[in-house]
Amino acid sequence: MTDTETWKGPPQVQELLAAQSYIADASLATAIFLSARLGKPLLVEGEPGCGKTEIAKVLSAATGGELIRLQCFEGLDSRSALYDWDYPRQLLMIRMHERETATELLEKQVFSERFLQRGPLLRALGGDATHRPVLLIDEVDRADEEFEGLLLEVLSDFQITVPEIGTLRATRPPLVVITSNRTRTLSDALKRRCLYAYVDYPDAEKELTILRRRVPLLDAAFARQIVAFVQRLRAEPDLAKRPGVAETLDWAAALLTLRIEALDPAAVATTLGFLIKDADDLELLRARHAALLESPE
């Protein structure tokens, strides 16, 4: 586990990630390196299943920092993301002390950090000095635009203002990874505060390396066959959802579990559901997969 301050350059980041079985190209490693050293959030966009979320997980493992995840969804509000007051306990406190304590004093006690329920963003600001926590804001495009506004103060100044207590600042800014599947365009204000990296589908060579790392029991020739098939599948027109690396890994693991040692039309037909997650696509490929299997690499 290394401190980000001691990172020498992008090659070291590549090595650290590779040690966690994450294969990053030089461009992504540079973006991660700069994000850590400049203390700026890293916005990662790309197709689903290409390893965006995984970046935060491996960074957490590589640096020893706690992984704090904020999964975004429509309707996500400040109470879930920042903080909320523990109302039942506050109520108990009021009931217990309402007779012997002055109202102002009681109010001060009730609205203190003791009764503050910290959300992921607030927890990320409270990391210790040695290990920077890794804050993963996952699928930010699913959240409402108002929520992006909420993130701005946190991401630019790493501070959160609680009216009853004051402004809480991070002793050391966390490593922030924001992922987006581009289902909507993010605001310029948010993008301006971030460094940017785009994770595309990997080429065959990189995907083979990932597959060999993640599913080491797979035979080398079989792994090549799997990767070649997936690459051809991605090149198919008319697919609504192309398989990502996550699907390739799931499929390889399934084939291994089923003790299938070479791809044939029957094996592909029975396991195609691991790669394709859309009913129309499945229907389309049921007719084509045999031809795909036979087409030259």
Partner 1 sequence: MSEGLDPSGAITRRLAEFCRFVRSCGLSVGVGAELDLGLAVALVDPMDRSTFRSACRATLAKSPEEVELHDRAFDAFWSGGPSKIPWTGTGTATTRPSPVRPGTRPKEADRPARPEPPTVSIPLGTWSASAPNVGHSLLAQPEKELHDLRDGARRLRRRVATLPGRRRARSHRGGVDVRDTLRRSLRYGGEFVELRRQHPSLRRGEFVVAWDVSGSMREHESRFFALVYALASVSRRARIFAFSTELTEITPEVRRHRYRRATVLTGARIALADGGTRIGGSLSELFDRASTLLRDRTTLILLSDGWDLGDPERVGRELERLARRCHAIVWVTPYTHAPGFEPRVAALQSALPHLDLLWGPEDFGPSSGRVRPGVVAPDPASVSGSTGRPRQDPTKARTAGKT
Beta bridge partners of 46: 199
Least separation in angstroms between residue 192's CB and partner 1 is: 6
Least separation in angstroms between residue 125's CB and partner 1 is: 22
Tell me how far the alpha carbon of residue 270 is from its chain's centroid: 30
In the complex with partner 1, the residue whose CB is nearer, 40 or 214, is 40
- Per DSSP (E only), the strands in 114-230 are 116-118, 134-138, 159-162, 166-169, 175-180, 195-199
- Per DSSP (E only), the strands in 18-174 are 42-46, 67-71, 83-85, 116-118, 134-138, 159-162, 166-169
In the complex with partner 1, the residue whose CB is nearer, 220 or 279, is 279
Residues 168, 171: Cα–Cα separation, whole Å: 9
Least separation in angstroms between residue 272's CB and partner 1 is: 17
Least separation in angstroms between residue 43's CB and partner 1 is: 8
In the complex with partner 1, the residue whose CB is nearer, 91 or 266, is 91
In the complex with partner 1, the residue whose CB is nearer, 237 or 296, is 237
Least separation in angstroms between residue 186's CB and partner 1 is: 9
Burial class of residue 205, CB neighbours in 10 A (0-12, 13-18, 19+): exposed
Least separation in angstroms between residue 297's CB and partner 1 is: 24
Which residues of the shown chain bind partner 1 in the complex (CB under 8 A)? 9-10, 26-27, 29-31, 33-35, 37-38, 40, 43, 45, 48, 73-75, 87-88, 90-91, 94-95, 98, 144-145, 181-185, 188, 191-198, 200, 237-238, 240-241, 279-280, 283
| Residues 67 and 262 sit within 8 Å (Cβ to Cβ) | no
Triad 117, 139, 207: Cα angle to 5°: 130
In the complex with partner 1, the residue whose CB is nearer, 199 or 211, is 199
Among 234, 242, 235, 212, CA closest to 224: 212
Least separation in angstroms between residue 71's CB and partner 1 is: 12
Axis crossing angle, helix 204-214 with helix 245-257, rounded to the nearest 10: 50
Least separation in angstroms between residue 37's CB and partner 1 is: 5
In the complex with partner 1, the residue whose CB is nearer, 93 or 211, is 93
Q: How many helices (H) and strands (E) does the chain have?
A: 14, 9
Buried residues in 208-229 as b, exposed as e (16+ CB within 10 A):
bebbbebbeebeeebbbbbbbb
In the complex with partner 1, the residue whose CB is nearer, 31 or 215, is 31
In the complex with partner 1, the residue whose CB is nearer, 171 or 196, is 196
Among 176, 81, 186, 87, CA closest to 140: 186
Residues 208, 217: Cα–Cα separation, whole Å: 13
Triad 219, 257, 61: Cα angle to 5°: 80
